[in-house]
Amino acid sequence: MSSNTVLVTGGAGYIGSHVVLALREAGRPVVVVDNLVTGRREAVPSDVLLHEFDVADRARVARVLADHEISAVMHFAGSIVVSESVEDPVKYYANNTSASLALLSACVAAGVDRFIFSSTAAVYGEPSVAEVDESTPTAPISPYGSSKLMTEWMIQDIERAHPWFRAVRLRYFNVAGADPAGRTGQAGPESTHLIRVALDTALGRREALEIFGDDYDTRDGTCERDYIHVSDLADAHVAALNYLDAGGKGDVFNCGYGRGVTVKEVVAEIGRITGSPLRHRRAPRRAGDPPSLISNPVKLRASLAWEPRNAELARILETALAWQRSRVHPGTSSDQRRGAGDELTRAFDDYVPAKA
């Protein structure tokens, strides 16, 4: 391996696997570390080396860094379900904070000077502004958000102690969609992400979509989020690495499009695409859900020269739907899969995406 090799932790997961593809397309050698608890071995290209262990194992991380002469690390490994973090905070501080400390300490000891961290807009909690920029105060309302913010603090402290160490912290808003070429996508059987759950409902894999609260202070009472296509997010990681390669200093960037979409709007768009109303029902609010989270991506675009290629909601849903149709889910009968697939194929034959 060359000294240009990038280590991707969690590279067999949803976002990590898309970043692996983007790095390869940019000509970067890649090595993956993933414990495969939620990741999938088949999401990693066959010619990319996968080490199966947890990043909390500092000694094994150190060996990988040395053996492959790793020059940069992109860190995705961790737990991501907000509601679960409220119920089991210990798990989140272990998987997201403690494990990140082990990884960071190994990187510092090995002299790895470039680090890109998968953070989250959950660090902002319930912001009082319509659009969230990087100067918005951080005030997480869930252990998930707190565990990520604590890792950001550790990174900043390491940068102050070791000026040669430079890290980009990317705060994601809501990630959705799938690789347009169908190579990877969201595959966890217990996903709680709205678009994944909604499309599984459209495909007959769930009885109905639950809308968690319809009395929020938004335009239709349901939560509003800034959805970013996962391939555009992957491109932002490559842009961040290019920025660090060019001597850029450590910094934080919001990753989103700067527009909000409500739950009911997602439901309506899926119904329009499929030609059939999406089955849904009201459910109580979930702990840790802010009413609205919308990014101000000006800094990301200006500093990293990043431009999205898949920004339309229709594009996000189309690629996610194509991926989900290709997946065989346990508990779904062959008749259900065939029927849903036939119906959606007909819908896409006549489907024209809405203009911006």
Locate tokens 């659009």: which residue?
131
Residue 243 falls in the annotated catalytic set: no
Q: How far, in Å, CA of 191 to CA of 281, rounded?
A: 18
Q: How far, in Å, CA of 350 to CA of 72, rounded?
A: 45
Closest among 151, 162, 149, 146 to 112, alpha carbons compared: 162
Q: How far, in Å, CA of 336 to CA of 340, rounded?
A: 6
Q: Are 166 and 244 in contact (CB under 8 A)?
A: yes
Residue ranges of the alpha helices (H) in the chain? 14-25, 58-67, 82-87, 89-92, 99-110, 143-161, 194-202, 230-245, 263-274, 298-304, 313-326, 334-349
Q: Which is the catalytic residue, given 144, 172, 216, 257?
A: 144
Name residue 132's beta-bridge partners: 295
How is residue 233 written in tokens?
């997010």
Q: How far, in Å, CA of 223 to CA of 131, rounded?
A: 15
Q: Are 166 and 251 in contact (CB under 8 A)?
A: no
Give, in order, the Cα–Cα distances in Å from 293 to each of 124, 216, 246: 9, 13, 31
The count of other CB atoms within 10 Å of the CB of residue 53 is 14
Locate tokens 């940069």: which residue?
72
Give the SS3 label for residue 229.
Answer: strand
Q: How far, in Å, CA of 232 to CA of 336, rounded?
A: 32
Give catalytic residues, as residue numbers: 144
